[in-house]
Structure 1
Amino acid sequence: MDIENLEELAKELKNDENSTVIALFEEYAKTHNIKEEELEQILSKKHDCFKCESCHKFYCYDEYSFFDEKCIYCCDVDSEDEEEF
């Protein structure tokens, strides 16, 4: 798949049907000579695309917790795990 710009990349990363988002993200960073951390910052600030540090998928603002740096789905699972003890 040819991704020509960051807007296309963000759209593809947030696509639930795409199972290779990390590979796509890493390839884009490598191809465009951008550090992965820098690419994450650009995607989050300009394209509403945030990487979950837990499941390594990408989500929009409404599905992401800045405090935990995780998606709301991983935060919910963590909360359920804590309640079991």
Structure 2
Amino acid sequence: LITTLLNLWGVRAAARVGFAVLAMEIVVLLVFVVSAVVVLVRDGAQRGWLTPLTGDTGFSMAAVLGAVSIAVLSYLGFDAIASFAEE
């Protein structure tokens, strides 16, 4: 609704609002990156860099298959379930 109203108001207004939103996103991203660097410099890395990806115990096939099914449905959408059922 807001985007439609901005486009009806004018392209320049929509461009200004889009630029303002982009600037806010960049500021938030910079604050996050600076905060992360400050914490890493102050406290050091508490665990390995790949621990969030590999976990402490390694991989399990059940976890991989569960993640793959969620990823496929997230990418293709829930309407793909009917297509997959036909195949």
Q: Tell me which interval the TM-score lies in, with the shorter structure as reference length.
A: under 0.3
Higher Cα Rg: structure 1 or 2? 2
Of Structure 1 and Structure 2, the greater helix share is in 2
Q: Compute the TM-score of the two structures, normalised by the length of structure 2.
A: 0.25
Of Structure 1 and Structure 2, the greater strand share is in 1
Return the structure number with greater relative CO, CA threshold 8 A, min gap 6. Answer: 1
Q: Compute the TM-score of the two structures, normalised by the length of structure 1.
A: 0.26
